[in-house]
């Protein structure tokens, strides 16, 4: 995280002649481009080709090898979200954000400081966090929300964001998406989330073979224009090759014929030769190069009343889950951060044992398990020593000149890509993928999607990448909280559309005092029960009284929640009152979740 002031007079943002190399590897060479005020730019390039280096130069945290210039029109504030966020584990969330943005807050007077703290509290609350929580108690996705809060609270003129959606659940992604769409700041970001890109950005900038190409419009327009650019480039290459043949004939002429010829023509020949060897391709997956799945039997994984919790007497992450996974299932596993998805797939893979119930696995089952924390390499080994399949390496963007590189020299994204290949090399018939899209670039994601679409086995994937889920899976297991898991047939966009349509229907029918409680129950559960037809089974007298009491209590709690939301949106509320309101808001949400879950159990 880095916030600072720049006071240089020129166009809003003009980059000229910047370069970056690491040893013999040239990332980009004397590139330049302009950024207009209000532009929202997505930078696309394969991992390891210079995206992060370019962003660090723009943010002033690194320098161009060739000098060059980065010129701004006026004094503007820049906020930089890096992938790695350094924090004090003992600090509260509010103190962490304040300490991380001192350069921004130091010039503020007392009123400005108060308004800044109020903005932090509001953003943390919107992200489902409490300002008084300790950083050490947060999950990875929650830490990312704090980092984003620190950037957004600055209200900087120019935001530089490196993979802002990594590790975020869909609710947080959609909140950030909405925020960036309505803000008037200028934005330069790297993201692998193609829906996020489409909904936030108006320009796609590609870093390809060390050069910058700019495409105005959405991701689909970028794909079309890029294909045209490559076709034109290759057509030009064909012309150069024809010219090269004529020059080659001259070079092969007798020494006497060459006598007195200009030296520049010989030099031009070698330049032509180098240009003629450059052909750009739009990479397609060749399935012949990929390892296929081993034969899968009729029995995959059968779960019978499975429950799991880390401590007896505490909340269960999985409760009474019964399901038989089928051959060729393509299942997406979705739910908010920290709700138990990774523990669930650990159960399926055998890394954890259920605290109740049983799990049976087929005899022919061979699991390939891609874990978020699974990368363990011998740093001295080369790429080729780690994965020996040349076709697979080439298809997943490891060209011949990289095969002898030691793993120690790979970027974070390149390591992820290589780790993925070590899983595919095992020829599994069940792929379990835990957040495979984190740290992978868009080019690699397209290749992975094509591989999975042709995969002759079953797939279970935990992901918050909506585009990836829509392409790869055909139904979802939705984690609702309190161990409840619901099955939804369809892709992720179908699920979200179904939820939103239901919420809209309920808002029309709901009483003003009740708000949209039924919709929130449906959103949490993935079921479509309406209040008027809620009691599907015969309740005992005691259960009927409990059900009626819950109805009244939920109406009261929702009314209180609406009052707190209104308070948090008011200007000039005393800080202590804001802190108390945000704390009550969090406990109120937990209370609502518990009571809504019980209401749902009685209504089914």
Least confident span in 34-48, 454-468, 560-574? 560-574
C-beta of residue 207 within 8 angstroms of C-beta of residue 455: no
- Under DSSP, is residue 99 helix (H, G, I), strand (E, B) or coil? helix
Kindly list the distances between the CA atom of residue 181 and the CA atoms of 1, 79, 118, 374, 430, in Å, as whole numbers in the listed order.
Answer: 22, 17, 22, 35, 39
C-beta of residue 316 within 8 angstroms of C-beta of residue 305: no
Cα distance between the two ends of the chain: 48
Q: In this predicted model, what pLDDT tens digit does every residue of 175-216 receive, in sequence order?
A: 999 999 988 889 999 999 999 999 999 999 999 888 899 999
Tell me what the pLDDT averaged over the chain comes to.
82
- Under DSSP, is residue 18 helix (H, G, I), strand (E, B) or coil? strand
Ramachandran area for residue 79 (φ above 0: left; ψ -120 to 50: alpha; else beta): beta
Q: In this predicted model, what pLDDT tens digit does every residue of 120-177 receive, in sequence order?
A: 999 999 898 999 999 999 988 899 999 999 999 999 999 999 999 998 988 899 999 9
Q: In this predicted model, what pLDDT tens digit does every residue of 431-489 receive, in sequence order?
A: 999 999 888 889 889 989 999 998 989 999 999 999 999 999 999 999 988 899 999 98
What gap in Å lies between CA 485 and CA 462, rounded to an integer?
A: 14
- Under DSSP, is residue 5 helix (H, G, I), strand (E, B) or coil? strand
What gap in Å lies between CA 552 and CA 300, rounded to an integer?
A: 45
What gap in Å lies between CA 199 and CA 197, rounded to an integer?
A: 6
What gap in Å lies between CA 261 and CA 252, rounded to an integer?
A: 13
Class of domain 289-490 as given by CATH: alpha beta
Are both 2-209 and 289-490 of the same fold?
yes
Q: Is the pLDDT of residue 331 over 70?
A: yes
DSSP-derived letter for residue 136 is G
| pLDDT at residue 163 in the model | 94
Residue 28, classified by CB atoms within 10 Å of its CB into exposed (0-12), middle (13-18) or buried (19+), is buried
| pLDDT at residue 262 in the model | 56
| pLDDT at residue 73 in the model | 75
Q: Is the pLDDT of residue 413 over 80?
A: yes
Kindly list the distances between the CA atom of residue 460 and the CA atoms of 165, 280, 383, in Å, as whole numbers in the listed order.
Answer: 21, 34, 27
| pLDDT at residue 243 in the model | 67
pLDDT-derived band of residue 353, with 50, 70 and 90 as boundaries?
very high
- Under DSSP, is residue 570 helix (H, G, I), strand (E, B) or coil? coil
DSSP-derived letter for residue 328 is T
Q: Is the pLDDT of residue 3 over 70?
A: no
C-beta of residue 8 within 8 angstroms of C-beta of residue 158: no
Q: Say which residue the tokens 């020299």 belong to.
A: 409
C-beta of residue 144 within 8 angstroms of C-beta of residue 133: no
C-beta of residue 289 within 8 angstroms of C-beta of residue 389: yes
| pLDDT at residue 443 in the model | 86
Q: Is the pLDDT of residue 525 over 60?
A: no
| C-alpha dihedral (503, 506, 507, 508), degrees to nearest 10 | 130
Q: Where are the domains of the chain?
A: 2-209, 222-279, 289-490, 496-603
CATH superfamily of the 2-209 domain? P-loop containing nucleotide triphosphate hydrolases (3.40.50.300)
Instruction: Tell me the β-bridge partners of 92.
Output: 134
Q: In this predicted model, what pLDDT tens digit does every residue of 484-498 receive, in sequence order?
A: 999 998 889 998 888
C-beta of residue 193 within 8 angstroms of C-beta of residue 467: yes
Q: Say which residue the tokens 């161990």 belong to.
A: 483
C-beta of residue 167 within 8 angstroms of C-beta of residue 438: yes
C-beta of residue 454 within 8 angstroms of C-beta of residue 418: no
Taking the mean position of all CA atoms in its chain, how far away is CA 449?
15
């Amino acid at each position: 995280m880095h916030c600072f002031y720049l006071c240089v007079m020129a166009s809003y943002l003009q980059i000229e002649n910047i370069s970056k190399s690491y040893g013999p590897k040239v990332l980009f060479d004397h590139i330049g481009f302009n950024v207009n005020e209000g532009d929202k730019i997505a930078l696309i390039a394969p991992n390891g080709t210079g995206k992060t280096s370019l962003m660090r130069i723009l943010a002033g945290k690194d320098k161009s090898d060739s000098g060059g210039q980065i010129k701004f029109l006026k004094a503007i504030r820049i906020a930089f979200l890096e992938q790695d966020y350094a924090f004090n584990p003992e600090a509260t969330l509010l103190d962490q954000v304040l300490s991380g943005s001192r350069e921004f807050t130091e010039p503020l007077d007392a009123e400005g400081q108060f308004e800044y703290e109020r903005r932090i509290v509001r953003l943390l609350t919107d992200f489902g966090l409490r300002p008084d929580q300790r950083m050490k108690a947060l999950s990875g996705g929650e830490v990312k929300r704090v980092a984003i809060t620190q950037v957004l609270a600055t209200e900087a003129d120019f935001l530089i964001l490196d993979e802002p959606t990594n590790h975020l659940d869909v609710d947080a992604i959609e909140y950030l998406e909405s925020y960036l769409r309505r803000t008037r700041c200028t934005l330069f970001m790297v993201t692998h989330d193609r829906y996020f890109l489409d909904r936030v950005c108006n320009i796609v900038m590609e870093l390809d073979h060390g050069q910058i190409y700019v495409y105005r419009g959405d991701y689909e327009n970028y794909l079309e224009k890029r294909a045209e650019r490559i076709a034109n480039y290759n057509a030009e290459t064909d012309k150069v090759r024809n010219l090269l043949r004529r020059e080659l004939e001259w070079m092969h002429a007798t020494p006497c014929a060459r006598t007195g010829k200009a030296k520049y023509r010989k030099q031009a020949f070698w330049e032509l030769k180098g240009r003629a060897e450059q052909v750009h391709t739009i990479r397609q997956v060749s399935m012949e190069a990929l390892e296929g799945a081993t034969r899968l039997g009729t029995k995959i994984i059968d779960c019978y009343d499975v429950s799991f919790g880390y401590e007896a007497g505490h909340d269960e992450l999985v409760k009474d889950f019964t399901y038989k996974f089928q051959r060729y299932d393509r299942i997406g596993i979705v739910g908010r951060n920290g709700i138990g998805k990774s523990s669930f797939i650990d159960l399926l893979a055998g890394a954890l044992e259920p605290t109740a119930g049983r799990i049976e696995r087929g005899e022919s089952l061979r699991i390939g398990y891609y874990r978020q924390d699974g990368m363990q390499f011998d740093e001295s080994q080369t790429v080729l020593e780690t994965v020996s399949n040349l076709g697979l390496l080439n298809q997943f963007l490891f060209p011949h000149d990289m095969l002898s590189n030691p793993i120690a020299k790979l970027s974070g994204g390149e390591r992820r890509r290589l780790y993925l290949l070590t899983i595919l090399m095992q020829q599994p018939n069940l792929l379990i993928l835990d957040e495979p899209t984190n740290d992978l670039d868009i080019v690699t994601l397209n290749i992975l999607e094509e591989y999975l679409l042709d995969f002759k086995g079953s797939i279970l994937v935990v992901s918050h990448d909506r585009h990836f889920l829509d392409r790869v899976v055909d139904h979802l297991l939705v984690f609702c909280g309190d161990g409840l898991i619901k099955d939804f047939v369809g892709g992720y966009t179908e699920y979200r559309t179904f939820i939103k349509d239901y919420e809209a229907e309920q808002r029309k029918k709901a009483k003003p005092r009740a708000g949209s409680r039924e919709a929130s129950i449906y959103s949490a559960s993935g079921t479509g029960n309406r209040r008027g037809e809620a009691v599907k089974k015969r309740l005992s007298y005691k259960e009927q009284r409990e059900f009626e009491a819950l109805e009244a209590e939920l109406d009261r709690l929702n009314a209180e929640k609406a009052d707190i939301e209104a308070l948090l949106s008011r200007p000039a509320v005393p800080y202590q009152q804001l802190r108390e309101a945000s704390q009550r808001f969090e406990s109120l949400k937990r209370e609502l979740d518990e009571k809504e879950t019980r209401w749902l159990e009685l209504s089914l």
